[in-house]
Amino acid sequence: MRRKFVIWWDGYGIQAKQMGVLVVTTVVGSWAVQQESVDRYEFEIRILVWGRDEDVEQKTNPTFDIKRFIHKQFAPICTLCGKPTPFSSSRLPGRCESFPEETGFEGTKPAVPPGSLAYVVRAGDGAQRYGPPREVESSGPVEAGPGACTFDSRHLYTKKVCGEGSIRAVSYNILADTYAQTEFSRTVLYPYCAPYALELDYRQNLLKKELAGYSADLICLQEVDKSVFVDSLAPALDAFGLEGLFKIKEKQHEGLATFYRRDKFSLLSQHDIAFSEALLSDPLHKELCDKLAEYPLVQEKVLQRSSVLQVSVLQSTTDPSRKICVANTHLYWHPKGGNIRLIQIAVALSHIKHVACDLYPSIPIIFCGDFNSTPSSGTYSFINSGGIAEDHEDWVSNGEEERCNMPLSHSFKLLSACGEPAYTNYVGGFHGCLDYIFIDKNALEVEQVIPLPSHEEVTTHQALPSVSHPSDHIALICDLKWK
């Protein structure tokens, strides 16, 4: 088969064991790889370490200077002298004092068009080789990677996996390709984002780089395309010791994904639901369903929504007495849908209570997601305080015609582990805090919250997504420990 993957300029690579996937540790550009049917193996591809090209055999032209070619191809660092080049979002060729000419070739033209080189890539080095050489040829122009990314500084805090007794949790809306690749997205929602940076191949490789660097024990993702989960995220994160679970939305091509570290947790059971279906069919929600029937306009909207809840019960591999309920959701998005979100979160908390209190008595919960609710909203207040009054303003969020007054309560003691950041979503027309990691504060406490990117980093390319950030949301990351 023919599989395309992107190798970034910045030196990052994935070291992993995967079936039929070449594992990259050094970086050059965007390549198509002809793969053979092979057993499980680990490859280390050394294409170019700055200033070294002894592992590359140039097949096209023995007189061609690979260093100067790479230099010409928009490199952020000159591969000859190691100095920074004036690489920018305008994608100008990288040049420094060593190459003052416009071309960067000192009058020497390459024998093949730029971006169309062929190499023999040798796996590993010497006796430590794990497999035979593979021939790699670019199928298109060699493109520059993102340079400095918004998450680079965050990786400094997450170089190692948490120790025993601690849990690193991540919650992240990764922006589904089904939403990013629309004319509305390109022209209205994200007109500031370079079109190539909205492409799935570009974003998912950036995303894998980001997620791999967090060394997480639990990752809850929203807006995950089914194909991205199956073909990209699940294999990549499996190589880092993470097992993935997926729940697709009804009538949609995207859904939720939860990953857990295999050497820390084993899966005991899954209890996923679709809100609309559970509301109608599960006796657990009969009282709420009866109340909602008094407001037919609101009921109709609630039942039309495709939102789902993913609930997984995990058990510690080192201490079987420690179990945890991990919930993941993505609530209704509309700015005037506060009343719909209140119903959805009531169903969610009732279902989680059934799992964490009835099926597995008194196990702690971690509830992650994109709640599409700011800290001033009724939904956040309900989760945080345990109740919502029938006269709360969110019950009339879409006007008097859709008024829906009912008091709600739940018995959990939940805390937003990452607090209330200024924003977790930053687009051209809006920025605000919509994402949270809620924890059971009776059983868990926060060890550290990984700082979010600075405002300067987020706005380097005006807003999100960008060439250096794959989503319009920002991942929340925290280290938790058992009390």
Residue 144 and residue 142: Cα distance in Å, rounded?
7
What is the residue-wise DSSP string for 184-207? HIIIIISTTS-GGGGSHHHHHHHH
Q: Determine how β-strand 435-440 pairs with β-strand 365-370.
A: antiparallel
Q: Would you please indicate which residues are annotated as catalytic (active-site) residues?
A: 370
Max CA pair span of the chain: 80
Q: Per DSSP, what are the bridge partners of residue 273? A: 309
CB contact burial 3-12 (16+ within 10 A = b; e otherwise) = eebbbbbbeb
Q: Partners of 96 in the beta sheet?
A: none
Listing DSSP states for 45-96 in one string gives B-S-BTTB-TTEEE-S-TT--HHHHHHHTT-SB-TTT--B----TT-PPP--
CB atoms < 10 A from the CB of 464, how many? 26
480, β-bridge pairs: 167, 446
Distance CA 382, CA 250 (A): 26
CA distance 73 to 136: 18
Give the angle subtended at the CA of 23 by the CAs of 55 and 267, to the nearest 5°.
160
The encoded tokens of residue 449 equal: 């919250």
**Secondary structure of residue 119 in the 3-state scheme:** strand
**CB-neighbour burial class of residue 482 (10 A; exposed 0-12, middle 13-18, buried 19+):** middle
Q: Residue 213 belongs to what H/E stretch?
A: none
